[in-house]
Structure 1
Amino acid sequence: MNYKKLVLLSFVSVALFSCETKETEPAQPYDSGVFVVNEGNFLQNNGSISFIQPDSKTAITDVFQKENSRPLIGIINGYAEVDDKGIILVDNSTDGQDAIEIVNARTFKSIASIKEVENPRNAIKVAANKAYVVCWDILNPDYTYNPGYILVIDLLINKVTKKITLQNGAEGIVVVGNEAFVGNNPYVDKKEISVIDITKDEVTSKINIKGPASNLVLDANNKIWCTTGKDFLRINPTTKAVEATISTETATEKTPGKLVLNANKTTIYFDYAHWATGGEVYSFNISDATISTTTPIIKRTVTGLGFDPKANVIYAGISPSYNQAGYAFRYKPTGELIDSVKVELAPSKFLFK
């Protein structure tokens, strides 16, 4: 056998071995299914994360406690995954006790805890092994907000590498290309969306809008949707212009809240609610010029909303109270109830994998 054939045979052998190793990598407990973020009761610091396996009608409860023999002490504001690592946002009722817990996303075993954080609200992947965590900072005694910020986290070393100062009440975030767009919670008097260059980790501009921009999502056309008051805004991330403003009806005090997209990102589902009178869930197509809130697809007040793109199923968090376990109700896209799964206290967000 000549030298060239020997080299070729060696290369093929290595390639086949690598493929075989990858294919036979053992499955892990949380490779596929639905994570349910249970917010919990703020004063009791009893938030948790449940996991529903595919085709299961029961949930594995408090998976962090189960895998690490210690609880998450606080309410849970969110869970995101970046390159096989999970990021849990823990908001304790005592200042200085908040945390970002980093786990192996496949086993949920703890990897690291980041403590230099106050009021983490949302986490998102911005690049390989790199995450942004949007934070409020401390809420003052008079319920005013300090300037918010983003913590830039390097997930190769599991540490904060930079802090980007933002507007008061910074909250929702989406990433489009090399830019991140950050809105506000609806309780601040801010009328802007911050635009961040994710390669430099710097605020480069702001988009002026009519009010606080909540619940940012990105549709099939790479357009940003958000809510402010009773209005939906559609924003072009390239021109930084508000392309459309679509108002809901004004006869009630209800306002649009949580926004989620269907699998192909052409339909937006949203809850329409008021704290005293409850609410329902409605939907509209991203090409619609008007939004109707006459006939709901789900006639329930929800604490959480999600859409499973694999199963083509709506998930709604239903909470009897903030002192007893809630449920993940599953619906067809038309609003027909499929079933429900008992989870934990105040199910508010879902992550599908």
Structure 2
Amino acid sequence: MSQATHGGIIIRNARFHVTLKLNYKHMKLNKLLWASALISVSFACSDSGEEKPLGKYDNGILIMNEGNFGTNDGEVYYLNPNTEELLPNIFEAENLRPFAGLLEDMVLEADRLYLVANTGKVEIVNPADFKSLGAVSAELDQPRSLAVNGSKLFISDYGPYDASYATPDSYVAVVNGLDGGVVSKKIEVSDKPEDLFSYENYIFVASSEANKIEIIDATQETVVTTIELEASPKQFNAEGGILWVYAIATDEVIFYTLNLSSLTLENSYTVPVANATNRISFDGDDKMYILTSSGYPDYNDAVVTIDIEGNTATATELMTGSGFYGIGFDDDLDQIYVANSNGFQGNGTVTVLSETGSVIRSFEVGRGPSGFLVY
């Protein structure tokens, strides 16, 4: 392993040679707000190439409101960023029943939107009109995220707590069918799996407590490869044939890059940032926005932007406050979205910032806003 230091940023080069041939597959949009482009016309192309009118929720920003523990009132709001129209509780409005869970993640895959609730279910809706397509509502414990591979769903799950509130029985659940159904298998993985990434016939698992990436063969439904890291992986993001891995260590964050054509762990960028959380958004151009928090009792929070260019990286504090709970970036308008839970005392708020940190506007949303998604 070679190591070089550039302006306080440590860059390590390491190569793990793995005999797997992988091809790029759809990437999951997880707890981050980014898109290669926003559609600015009123029609979209169908699979047949014909144009069809966009649905009610096809062009805008979805705001994920986690909900309050105990009342399980998680919900999704829809925002049109151009007109600033805000529609609340769109799952309940379109399905005539409450979501009834704590929202952990929103995953847009295979023309479906998967709403992952860490209270033990996944709701599946048509992203155009938010009408229910199905669900996974049994055999799950504490699901965290989801990825699609072929006709299968893979769902990361902490598993049940033991007597000491540890999670030794974490797993990735397999469901045969894109519209949900029963869990056909639980693949044992290391404690507290978080984000998933689907790539050809493989599922990458961010095993956060074990500081490793575990790779599942989607056909065999078993772990076939493990890559050890020096920090706790939280999120994946694919850019230009490279998979970024966001990881947290003590008083620093590390961004690993994994070459998808060779499955080789290449560079790592270590940035000294204290109290980093797992909340991150990528802007699609080697810039990341993360939230930091000192935690109880002070809750001194901040929005930090990290710029990675070539072999250098810089961290800049854009905004400070208390109660920051989610972060996102609108790549079309170059605006940052910061969600504030307001201590779960009533509804949360969202503040929109410019790239330099200037406040553009704020508005009220649901309980515990924690994530954003553009499509």
**What TM-score comes out, normalization by structure 1 length?**
0.81
Moved more, 217-226 or 255-264: 217-226
Distance 1:285 1:247, change over 3 A: closer
Q: Which residue of 2 aligns with 1:71?
A: 98
2:50 to 22, 26, 35: 22
Match of 2:86, SS? coil
**Amino acid corresponding to residue 173 of structure 2 in structure 1:** L
Among candidates 256, 260, 263, match of residue 281 of structure 2: 260
Indicate yes or no: 2:202 matched with 1:182. Answer: no
In the alignment, is residue 137 of structure 1 matched against residue 159 of structure 2? yes
**Alignment partner, residue 166 of structure 1:** 189
Structure 2 match to 1:12: none
1:217–1:26 distance in 2 versus 1, CA, 3 Å: closer
Mapped contact 2:124–2:179 kept (Cα < 8 A): no
User: How far is the alpha carbon of 1:245 from its aligned partner?
Assistant: 4.5
**Partner amino acid, structure 1, of 2:154:** Y
Partner of 1:217: 237
2:343 is the alignment partner of 1:316: no
Alignment partner, residue 108 of structure 2: 81
The residue matched to 2:344 in structure 1 has which SS? coil
Does the 8 Å CA contact 2:189/2:207 hold for their aligned counterparts? no
Pairwise CA RMSD of aligned residues?
2.6
Kept in 1, the 8 Å contact 2:207–2:214? The answer is no
Q: Is structure 2 residue 307 aligned with structure 1 residue 279?
A: no
Structure 1, unpaired ranges of 5+: 1-17, 93-97
1:261 touches 1:267 (CA, 8 Å); kept in 2?
yes
Match of 1:149 in 2: 171
Q: Which runs of 5+ in 2 are unaligned?
A: 1-45
Q: What is the aligned partner in structure 2 of residue 15 from structure 1?
A: none
Q: Which residue of 1 aligns with 2:58?
A: 31
| Aligned mates of 1:42, 1:312 — CA distance in 2 | 33
Out of 281-290 and 326-335, give the one that drifted further.
281-290
SS in 2 for 1:117: coil
**C-alpha separation between the residues in 2 aligned to 1:193 and 1:19?**
34
**Which residue identity lines up with residue 135 of structure 1 in the other structure?**
D
Cross-structure match for 1:4: none
**In structure 1, C-alpha distance between the alignment counterparts of 2:264 and 2:248, rounded to whole Å:** 17
Greater share of helix: 1
Question: SS at the partner of 1:341?
Answer: strand
Tell me if the contact between 1:219 and 1:225 (Cα under 8 Å) persists in the aligned partners: no
Give the CA deviation at 1:210: 2.2
Larger Rg: 1
DSSP-derived class of the 2:94 partner: helix
Q: Residue 107 in 1 paired to residue 129 in 2?
A: yes
Q: Which amino acid aligns with 2:232?
A: P
User: TM-score by structure 2 length?
Assistant: 0.77
Match of 2:320 in 1: 299
Please identify which structure carries the higher strand content.
2
- Work out the CA distance in 1 between the residues paired with 2:219 and 2:355: 38
Task: Between the two structures, name the one with larger relative contact order (CA 8 Å, sep ≥ 6).
Answer: 2
| Amino acid corresponding to residue 248 of structure 1 in structure 2 | P
| Partner SS state of residue 318, structure 2 | coil
SS of the aligned residue for 2:320 comes to coil
Contact 2:61 2:374 in 1 (8 A): yes
- 1:203 counterpart = 2:231: no
Q: Structure 1 residues 300, 290: closer, same or farther in 2, change over 3 A?
A: farther
| Residue 248 (structure 2) pairs with residue 248 (structure 1) | no
Distance 1:151 1:345 in 2: 28
Q: Partner of 1:321: helix, strand, or coil? A: helix
Does the alignment pair 1:53 with 2:73?
no
State the secondary structure of the residue aligned to 2:87.
Answer: coil
The amino acid across from 2:202 in the alignment is E
Matches of 2:239 and 2:48 in 1, distance apart? 38
Number of corresponding residues: 321
